[in-house]
Structure 1
Amino acid sequence: MATASVTTPEGEGEVERGAKARTRRAILEAAATVLAADGSASLTAVADAAGVGRTTLHRYFPERVDLVRALAQHTVAETDRRYREARPDDGDPVAALRRIAEALLDLGPVLMYLYSEPLIAQDAACQAVLEGGEDPLDRLLDRAAPALRPDLPVAWVRRAFWSLLYTAWEAVREDEMARHEVLEALMATFTAGVLAPQRAAPGSR
């Protein structure tokens, strides 16, 4: 969108850009909550949740697909940030898996929405955003290999972890299980199934 050229005091442009960035982030965070709860929710509902007008939302995201594409990018960036905070390359690999599970637990609703959203399936750019890049979990599972059952392929272990994480998301949303209960159940099920018999799973981070 073109903007008018005006003379402003030094530094005001940076403030404006900061305000625009905050508004954009507020819209995306509102979209993550609203669309995760109801994928068919209107853009007006997103605007209301963000505390902005429909016109303002359309200035940032003219079409619904623009919002969905930006939400995918925003969610991937947030996932990457949480991966970093979980420190997958540090310390005991099983404890690191627990940190990853905890870090990604709250992103479940928006990730479930994005992977089931038809606009994503129809948009190659969106798919590339969600599927591209290295998954730190792969690197971590390679590091954890000595602690895993030798009869289970690492690819199977990876799928098992993601399946349990998906189940954890559903348990929070549909069964209203407490967050800490879900995390404990996830790790107990996962470690009992994939760890070598002599390996005891650590109970803390």
Structure 2
Amino acid sequence: MTTIDSGVRQRTRRAILEAAATLWARDFSASLGDIADRAEVSRSTLHRYFPERQALVDALLLDSQAQVETAWDAAVAASSTPIETVENIMTAIVDLADQILFLFSDPARFAGNPNWRDDEDEALPDLIRAAQRDGDLDPAIDPAFVIGVMYSLIYVTAESVSTGALPRHKATETLVRVFRHGLSPRA
């Protein structure tokens, strides 16, 4: 019986976190009642899992960061060349559009929160330099600038998917194409 209970508890917790990510990606002022409605649970059920708003914010912060890290690691593991790794990272992360918007739409949102990690993958500049050496990225562009463009495109793509301006099924192709070839029309 405990396994069934824990499975139900995990699904309920996941539903609440997903509802919070969806709503707070678009409007951080969305209420716990709105989140409970979206998760299809009662407000008292939500409060059993997360007694106060900050507890849910912290849980979603940790969960979102973990999802991004897991997607990043899987993308790296599935890649064989530097440029493929960069493209796979962008593709994997943009699939987490709600989490990306929740994490990065307000730079001050998590200031002072001990759960916030703003550490960057230390291997990313080396990865960019390797793609430059392979001739896949312009070596005249500073790797820090390339990384900034990469993160900016991920964010804009996530936002475009969230608002419906870009269909989810077109997001990956558009993101990679713009990263690799800019905004020029296709040849």
Q: Sort the TM-score into its range (normalised by shorter chain).
A: 0.7 to 0.9
- In structure 2, C-alpha distance between the alignment counterparts of 1:108 and 1:117, rounded to whole Å: 15
Alignment of 1:49 onto 2:32: no
* Residue 47 of structure 2, aligned match among 42, 45, 58: 58
Deviation at 1:173, TM superposition (A): 3.3
- Matching of residues 10-25 of structure 1 within 5 Å: 12-25=1-14
Corresponding residue for 2:132?
A: 145
Q: Return 5+ residue gaps in structure 1 as ranges.
A: 1-11, 194-205
Alpha-carbon spacing, 1:168–1:124, altered in 2? closer, same or farther (3 Å): same
Higher Cα Rg, which structure = 1
Residues 129 and 139, structure 2, Cα contact 8 Å, conserved in 1: no
In structure 1, what is the Cα distance between the partners aligned to 2:125 and 2:48? Answer: 39
Alpha-carbon contact 1:88-1:97 (below 8 Å) kept: no
Taking the TM superposition and a 5 Å limit, the aligned residue runs for 1:11-160 are 12-87=1-76, 90-116=79-105, 120-128=109-117, 131-132=118-119, 134=121, 137-138=124-125, 140-146=127-133, 147=135, 148-160=137-149
Between the aligned partners of 2:46 and 2:145, the Cα distance in structure 1 is: 43
Match of 2:167 among 178, 182, 204: 178
Task: Give the aligned length.
Answer: 180
Answer with 181-190 or 42-51: which moved more.
181-190
Q: Structure 1 residues 123, 13: CA separation in 2 closer, same or farther (over 3 Å shift)? A: farther
Distance in 2, matches of 1:22 and 1:74, equals: 14
In the TM superposition, residue 176 of structure 1 has moved relative to its aligned partner by 1.7
Query: How many Å apart are 1:141 and its aligned residue?
Result: 2.3
Q: What TM-score does the superposition give when structure 1 sets the normalisation length?
A: 0.74
Q: Deviations over 1:71-120 (max 9, x none)?
A: 01111111122223323573122222222222112322332233345884
CA distance in 2, matches of 1:16, 1:62: 20
Q: Cα RMSD over matched residues?
A: 2.6
Range that drifts further, 21-30 or 81-90: 81-90
Unaligned runs of at least 5 residues, structure 2: 183-187
Instruction: Check the 8 A contact 1:120/1:126 in 2, yes or no.
Output: no
Aligned equivalents of 1:77, 1:126: Cα separation in 2: 11
TM-score (norm 2): 0.80
Residue type at the aligned position of 1:31: A
Query: For the residues of structure 1 that align with 2:124 and 2:85, how far apart are their CA atoms?
Result: 10
Q: How many Å separate the matches in 2 of 1:144 and 1:14?
A: 47
Change (3 A) 1:171 1:30: closer
Instruction: Describe the superposition over 1:165-193 as per-residue Cα deviations: whole angstroms up to 9, x where unpaired.
Output: 22222333346222344433332332236
